Amino acid sequence: MCLRQHLRCSSLKVTIFGAGSFGSAISCVVGYNTERTLIFNSEVKLWLYDEQLESGEYLADVINRDHVNVKYLPDFKLPNNVRAVTDLKEACEDCNLMIFVIPSQFIRSVASQIRKLDIDFSRAVRAVSLTKGFLVENGHPFLISKIIEEELGIDCCVLSGANVASGLAAKEFGEATLACSDYDDAYIWQYLFDTPWFKIDCVPDVICTELFGGLKNIIALLVGMIQGLGCGTNTVAAVMRLGVLEMILYGSIFFNIRSSIMTRVFFESCGIADLVTTCLGGRNVRGGKAFTLSNGQKPWEEIEAEVTGGQHLAGLVTLKEINETLEVLLIEKSIDVDKHFPLFRSCFKIAYTGTPPRSLIDILGRNELRELRFVPSGLLSLIDDSPNHGEVMQRSSSRQVGSLILSKTQSCMQYE
């Protein structure tokens, strides 16, 4: 049933699944809106695995009494209309808008538990995923939104952007991208999330939006590694730029997305803005830096203990997953993944196979001249998938010049 039809009889009920720092922060936004707009039921359910605090109390009880998530977002008050629930059935029944903010590794399990509840999802029910990452199964990457769709049999869209939880809860201005393939649904989601301090842009490109959110943590890890090697902003900026090109290539190879669409979505908050926020010094940057500062000697467990209090670094998890898919690509399709994904690959080798961190610099400064990207239309070919693709002019007309490029001494051979 479409949401609009449902709205003729009653308002839409909202449940947030996951009460970590970001789930709690988004409950501030959603609680604000549902309290003020008739299309939504005021009450927002916040589902969590309950846990006992050091004080002996249970987290859900404390949230419902004090309206503060003392464990994951202690400095901010949640709206009074946000109610913690710990029973999955209670969280799901009657719910129309399901917001998933659960770490990627638990998504399949929670979604499948929900499926087993045998709730009627043929009524107006939609989901949105705020979880960043992938699940790799049999060497192929699966998007979180697709896993939710598959398990629950309902549409799942994606919200992603440059959103640090504490900034969002503090009502510092921020933006996000809502990717949804259905126009009417997008419109409802926008009303649910958009506030004066949190502006939502809606686009129809679900896969690219989710991809950027998942892959950008690898770039953050690389930025940290480069900083740990003592390089300055010239190199950091180069790594970010080259990393973006690998993200786009990844999307076009593994998800068959036209690179022109990837580049357009990159201008949304889920693209450039999320990348910038993540690389301005989040956990992954600090982790990557600590690792290369130790010349690759410090175990990741130790680094994670210092940086995240023992949780896995998201970039590291994604790096492993991505590498698994690249290995499959290498084996099944004989594609030279080291050549096409030099940064993703060397990041993995440095992080996991004892390759010296300094090799990252060698990868960047590979000694050949880069291709001149001239096409008759004046468009760049690298990220272009128009019919002109591949029409990079050969260096033919310049071969006569090339023959004149002779090194002055044997020891400093030029690149050709």
- Cα distances from 390 to residues 259, 374, 375, 376, 382, in angstroms, run 14, 10, 9, 11, 9
**Nearest distance, CB of residue 317 and its own copies, angstroms:** 22
Which 25-64 positions form the footprint of its own copies (CB under 8 A)?
35-39, 42
Which 352-381 positions form the footprint of its own copies (CB under 8 A)?
361, 364-365, 367, 369-370, 372-374, 378-380
Binding mask 170-189 for its own copies (x = CB under 8 A): x-xxxx-------xx-xxx-
**Nearest distance, CB of residue 336 and its own copies, angstroms:** 20
Site for its own copies contains 398 (CB under 8 A): yes
Active site residue 171: no
Q: Catalytic residue, from 71, 216, 289, 333: name it.
A: 216
Q: What is the DSSP string of 85-142?
A: E--HHHHHTT--EEEE---HHHHHHHHHHHHHTT--TTSS-EEEE----EEEETTEEE
Site for its own copies contains 1 (CB under 8 A): no
Binding mask 279-318 for its own copies (x = CB under 8 A): xxx-------------------------------------
Q: Which of 67, 115, 264, 320 binds its own copies (CB under 8 A)?
A: 264
- Interatomic CA distance for residues 95 and 229, integer angstroms: 50
**Nearest distance, CB of residue 60 and its own copies, angstroms:** 27
**Nearest distance, CB of residue 299 and its own copies, angstroms:** 28
Q: Which of 21, 252, 269, 346 binds its own copies (CB under 8 A)?
A: 269
- Interatomic CA distance for residues 149 and 24, integer angstroms: 23
Q: Name the nearest CA neighbour of 235 among 384, 358, 400.
A: 358
**Nearest distance, CB of residue 238 and its own copies, angstroms:** 5
* 203 vs 290, beta carbon nearer its own copies: 203
- Residues composing the chain: 416
**Nearest distance, CB of residue 91 and its own copies, angstroms:** 24
- Interatomic CA distance for residues 307 and 285, integer angstroms: 10
**Nearest distance, CB of residue 315 and its own copies, angstroms:** 17
Site for its own copies contains 7 (CB under 8 A): yes
Contact between 209 and 267 (Cβ < 8 Å) = no
* 114 vs 279, beta carbon nearer its own copies: 279
Angle formed by the axes of helices 342-352 and 314-333, nearest 10°: 120
- Cα distances from 145 to residues 13, 135, 318, in angstroms, run 20, 11, 16
* 246 vs 321, beta carbon nearer its own copies: 246
Which 95-124 positions form the footprint of its own copies (CB under 8 A)?
none
Q: What are phi and psi of 97, to 5 degrees?
A: -120, 110
Say which amino acid occupies 56. Answer: G
Long-range contacts of 410-414 (CB under 8 A, 24+ apart): none
Binding residues: 18-23, 106, 132, 165, 283-284
Residues in contact with 322: Cβ distance below 8 Å, sequence separation at least 6, in sequence order: 134, 141, 215, 218, 250, 344, 348
DSSP H or E run through 46: strand 40-47
Q: Name the nearest CA neighbour of 261 among 199, 204, 176, 215.
A: 204
* 90 vs 184, beta carbon nearer its own copies: 184
* 119 vs 242, beta carbon nearer its own copies: 242
Q: Which two tokens stand for residue 168?
A: 């969002």
Binding mask 211-250 for its own copies (x = CB under 8 A): --------------------xxxxxxxx-xx--xx-----
Q: Which of 62, 164, 328, 330 binds its own copies (CB under 8 A)?
A: 164
Give how many residues touch its own copies by CB under 8 A. Answer: 95
Binding residues for NAD(+): 18-23, 106, 165, 283
Q: Which residues are catalytic?
A: 216
